[in-house]
Amino acid sequence: MSTSAVAVAGRGGLRFYQTTVGKKAVMAVSGVLLFGFVLVHMAGNLQIYEGPEKLNNYAKLLRSVPALLWGARITLLVMVILHIWSSVQLALLKQSARPVGYVKKETLQASYATRTMYWSGPIVLCFIIYHLLQLTFGAGGTPFQEGDVYSNVVQGFQVIPVSAFYILSMILLGLHLNHGLWSLFQSLGFYHPRYTKRIKGLAAALSALIVAGNISIPISVLAGWVR
């Protein structure tokens, strides 16, 4: 009786990440961590309604332990890279998997959000870059005072194009999350005839919450409620 190990690789020579299912799992895990950040980031930023002192102290608190700050930043950066890298590879695969398209093609049940994932993602990325330039590096062309987050936000959002781009980006982020937040369960192998419906509902509610919470800030600034 042989005691040697099975010699043939189960994946026909493909490693985990080389498979589409592996890439989608990476996309799901990185996506859910990025969503966690977006949720906490919004919750923290809503302290703007409690006045300058509260928000600026919160900003100071976040930077009080450099190891944690950089740990979080590096983790997020790695997640962003994994999320984008896997999606770019799958987008390229999509191109090659159907070299000749249809003369006529109908969409039966794919939602608007799912059909715009490849658009909403890159636009949100552009937004994140500008958002960091504006409010972290002070290079966004709006007034910037290191440490005075409150004034930076208020003065930044008083510029209408900046607010408009912010609101547009949040709506796209909401659409992106509307699909991504339930799709990640499917990618990681969880489907249930009862709970998947609820997960879809929860995903829609959470993405609406993110959009509403975040765009309330530029709207409040433009309306003069926060000054």
Partner 1 sequence: MKLILHIWRQANAAAPGKMMRYEAAGLSEDMSMLEALDVLNEELIARGEEPVAFEHDCREGICGSCGMMINGVAHGPSRATTTCQLTLRHFRDGQELYLEPWRARAFPVLKDLVVDRAAFDRIVAAGGYVSVPTGSAPDGNAIPVPKDDAERAMDAAACIGCGACVAACPNASAALFTGAKITHLALLPQGQPERHERALRMVAQWNLEGFGSCTNIGECEAVCPKGIGVEVIAAMNRDFLAASWAERDRVHAGA
Q: Does 88 bind partner 1 (CB under 8 A)?
A: no
Residues with Cβ within 8 Å of residue 168, at least 6 apart in sequence = 123
The backbone region for 175, taken as left when phi is positive above 0, alpha when psi lies in -120 to 50, beta otherwise, is alpha
Should residue 93 be labelled a site residue for partner 1 when binding is judged by CB under 8 A? yes
* Token pair belonging to 60: 């100071």
What burial letters (b/e) apply to 10-27, b meaning 16+ CB within 10 Å? Answer: eeeeeeeeeeeeebbbbb
Of 140, 179, 203, 216, the residue at the interface with partner 1 (CB under 8 A) is 179
Of 13-21, 57-65, 125-133, 215-223, the segment contacting partner 1 by CB under 8 A is 13-21
* Residue 18 within binding range of partner 1, rule CB under 8 A: yes
Least Cβ distance, residue 137 to partner 1 (angstroms):
34
Residue 6 found at the interface with partner 1 (CB under 8 A) = yes
**104 counts as binding partner 1 under rule CB under 8 A:** yes
DSSP codes of every residue in 86-136: HHHHHHHHHHHH-SS--SS---SS--HHHHTHHHHHHHHHHHHHHHHHHHT
From 2, 193, 194, 223, residue interacting with partner 1 (rule: CB under 8 A)? 193
Binding site for partner 1 (CB under 8 A): 4-6, 10-14, 16, 18-25, 90, 93-94, 96-111, 114-115, 117, 179, 182-183, 185-191, 193
